[in-house]
Chains A and B, each alone.
Chain A
Amino acid sequence: MSDPTRPVRKEETAGLMKYSAENLVPFGPIHPALKEPEYFKLILEGERIVEVIPRIGYVHRGLEKAAEMRPWVQNMYMFERTCGICSFVHSLTYGQAVEGLTIYETPRRAKFIRTIIAEMERIHSHLLWVGLMGHWAGFETLFMWVWRDREIVLDLVEAISGNRVHKSMNAFCGVRRDMPEGMEDRIVERMKFLVERANYYKEIVDTEETMLERTEGIGKISADMAEKLCAVGPMARYVGLRNDIRLTDPYAAYDEVPFDIVTRKEGDVHALLKLRLDELIVAANIVSYAVQHLPEGPIRVKIPPVIPAGENSSHSEAPRGEIFYYVKSSGGRTPDRVKSRQPTMANLPTALALLKGQTIADVPVVLTAIDPCFGCMDRMSFMDLESNRQWTWSGEQLRQYGIRHYFPERAKG
């Protein structure tokens, strides 16, 4: 296998042409294993994959550009809609980046509430992934059971924030809603139940023979290679790298909550399953602790709608890995530039490296091991592999290109 960290050169892309159409199996853009459209050309020899060519960009939504036309506050709720699963952490990270430009301080109680919601989101995201892993490996029963338990945490999120998916809890320097009265006991009791279930699922994935055969030794990667490919989140921790923003650069209330991250050594999909279930237990414990030690005080500081000039960045640990936001302000009502980097983008090279050498039966299991969220990830850039040239287009040029592409007859006239 060639070194996947090396940039692809022109001769190599030309070399791919030698594979005929018979060896090429399209995986996506519409495929039952993918919840979002993304295209992977799999080049096979028999059942074994020799090359994967990704073609991303099917759900490009132009979020970063849209942010430049909207007020600061509105952007927070727009970025929350980047992802339907880890939605809160997007608004949290963007909020932190913007708060860094102002002189105001977030109250302690708000930080705790943020931690609680973020960890609940991690629980529901991990449960979602474990269930889907069952589905991808052809184990429908695991899928149904795990998703039933996922309802517990979704109900709690709804009780706290009023919404199941897009919580809309965050505001600059605070949160919009306080914790409801008398929720502590219920949350702690439900978290205990979830820990029980997580332990039960760990037992299932450890003892179920067919599940073991599908996951053990699949998607193996060394720690060196994972580091080289800049893997983040669970994809770094499952080979033993202690890579977790909650620990290395604490935000919200993570510096006040006692917890330790989980890492594993094996570096295969089975390790990922157990890692995510272990992380779920850690998250449940964090939620229980934070709910019981919730400090008194205000939940929000009102800040003016104009953000002082400057630039700032912030990162945080989403369920899938590190999320990064960069904001630049020139002192106006709208940002000059917002840049966001999603963990799927960072983990995609790892996924492609994992895929090579596997059989086609492993593709859904391995490709989705990174918990991909292609809708969050899709960005756009222009490059020509032939001449190795990169360029940018203005909005108007892009529009003209669209007209030429979709209505060739109109472009001529």
Chain B
Amino acid sequence: MNYIEILQAIIFPGVLFTIGMGFLFDWLDRKTAARMQGRIGPKITGPSGTLQPLADFLKLLFKEEIIPSHADKTIFLFAPALYFLAPLLSMLFIPIISLNPLAGFDFDLLAILFLLAFAAFVVAVLSYSSASSFTTIATGRLVLQYVSYEIPMVLAIITAALYSKSLSVEGIVASQNKLWNIFIIPFAFAVYIVALMAELEKPPFDIPSAKTEIVAGWLTEFSGRALGFLKLTKEVGYVFGSALAVSLFLGGGLGPALTGLPSWILYFVYFMVKLMAVGFLIFVLKTSLARIKIGQATELFWKILTPISLAQIALVLFLVQGGILVAS
């Protein structure tokens, strides 16, 4: 490994870039919601308030950290760090500036699925470790929501992998050279977006952190640094979820070639435009919906979205086997 690769992993398009994107997504989220609700949104810190999420994060770093006396201290202190690692690591498998991701290998999609499950597991453990009635309820909801959205989400991801005949993100992106997957498997994309909103706990699925019911959900007992990093992780997870959607369904950074520009810049720009588009789709959806109840969410995922994704898989397999569609 040479210096360039190390720098890439740390700064661009590695860890620091991902965190920066997390802050940017936070700002965009707040600004879009504010505009849709007839407000102004962040405005003072930095140009048009772009630095507000960073300022909030820094402020939390300097706050006192309170550990509840009932809490399991080891888990309470270390789980946030583990949780922070999950989306950061996953982001390394996503090709951002060229078809080669920083840490891709032949079956990295499986690693991503593992990290998704790992993050949910860490949140459940970390929520349970803080031992208050609100976090206990939140844990129950969290786990129930996880088992609800996990199945359709994995099925949607698998649909893309099946059609592209590859289990690596790189291979799936490369296979979309001619036609994006979204045009072949639109339902899988839709299911993925809905499941992603549930994973990110965005309305209407902000059930485990419903503030008018259970204070801040599983975040209730956290303060200071831990709270700052947990919130940042949510935003980075947002970036990663959208980036995965772009890679699996929207052809990653592929697009019409332009002469005179280095290919990595072009790839990066296309990627970012699509990333913002997916992010914006979620911002708009989340702002225009009310929170549903946990039972209703489970019903939605198990009774409606799982059959849809199964039907999508069956359809794709049937069409490919029958020779009507040519698998790329």
Closest chain B residue, CB of each to CB of A139: B290
Question: B287 is contacted by which of A26, A135, A141, A364 (Cβ under 8 Å)?
Answer: A141
Partner of A138, one of B36, B215, B290, B295: B290
CA distance A338 to B290 in the complex (A): 44
Q: Contact: A138 with B203, CB < 8 Å? A: yes
B212 touches A33 (CB 8 A): yes
With both chains docked as a complex, state the minimum distance between the C-beta of B198 and any C-beta of chain A, in angstroms. 13
- Assuming the contacts A140-B37, A141-B287, A361-B207, asked whether A33 and B213 have C-beta atoms less than 8 A apart, the reply is yes
For A, the interface residue count at a CB cutoff of 8 angstroms equals 31
Given contacts A138-B210, A140-B37, A32 and B215 within 8 Å (CB-CB): yes
CA distance A139 to B203 in the complex (A): 8
- Inter-subunit contact A359/B293 (CB<8 Å): yes
CB-CB contacts below 8 Å: B290-305 with A: 290-296
Residues of B within 8 Å of A, CB-based: how many? 29
CB-based contact B137/A208 at 8 Å = no
Contact A208 B212 (CB under 8 A): no
CB of B290 within 8 A of CB of A208, answer: yes
For the complex, give the distance between the alpha carbons of A364 and B204 in Å. 16
A31-B215, A363-B213 are known contacts. Are A145 and B137 too (CB-CB below 8 A)? no
Given A26-B133, A360-B137, A361-B210, do A214 and B292 touch, yes or no (CB 8 Å)?
A: yes
- Pair A141/B291 contact, Cβ less than 8 Å: no
Chain B CB within 10 Å — which of A22, A33, A138, A139 has the most?
A138
A154 beta carbon closer than 8 Å to chain B: no
Chain B CB within 8 A of A292 CB: no
Beyond contacts A22-B133, A139-B203, A359-B295: 4 other A-B pairs, Cβ-Cβ < 8 A, are A137-B291, A213-B293, A360-B213, A361-B293
10 pairs of residues in contact across A and B, judged by CB atoms under 8 Å: A31-B215, A138-B204, A138-B212, A138-B290, A139-B290, A208-B289, A210-B290, A360-B214, A361-B210, A363-B213
Residue B47 interfacial (CB < 8 Å): no
B211 within 8 Å of A (CB atoms): yes
Of B38, B134, B204, the contact of A210 (CB 8 Å cutoff):
B204
Q: Which residues from chain B contact A210 at a C-beta distance below 8 Å?
A: 204, 289-292
Given contacts A32-B212, A140-B33, contact A211 B290 (CB under 8 A): yes
Asked if A25 contacts B137 (CB within 8 A), the reply is yes
Complex contacts, A148 vs chain B, CB 8 Å: 38
Q: Which residue of A lies closest to B203 (CB)?
A: A138
Instruction: Specify the chain B residue showing the minimal Cβ separation from A363.
Output: B213
CB distance from B220 to the nearest CB of A (A): 11
Is B39's CB within 8 Å of the partner chain A? yes
Q: Which of A25, A31, A137, A359 contacts B133 (CB 8 A)?
A: A25
Which residues does chain B contribute within 8 Å of A208, judged by CB atoms? 289-290
Given contacts A144-B38, A210-B289, contact A364 B294 (CB under 8 A): no
Q: Using Cβ atoms and an 8 Å threshold, which residues of chain B touch A361?
A: 207, 210, 213, 293-294
Q: A203 in the interface, Cβ–Cβ < 8 Å? A: no
- Tell me, in angstroms, the Cα distance from A381 to B287 when the chains sit together: 46
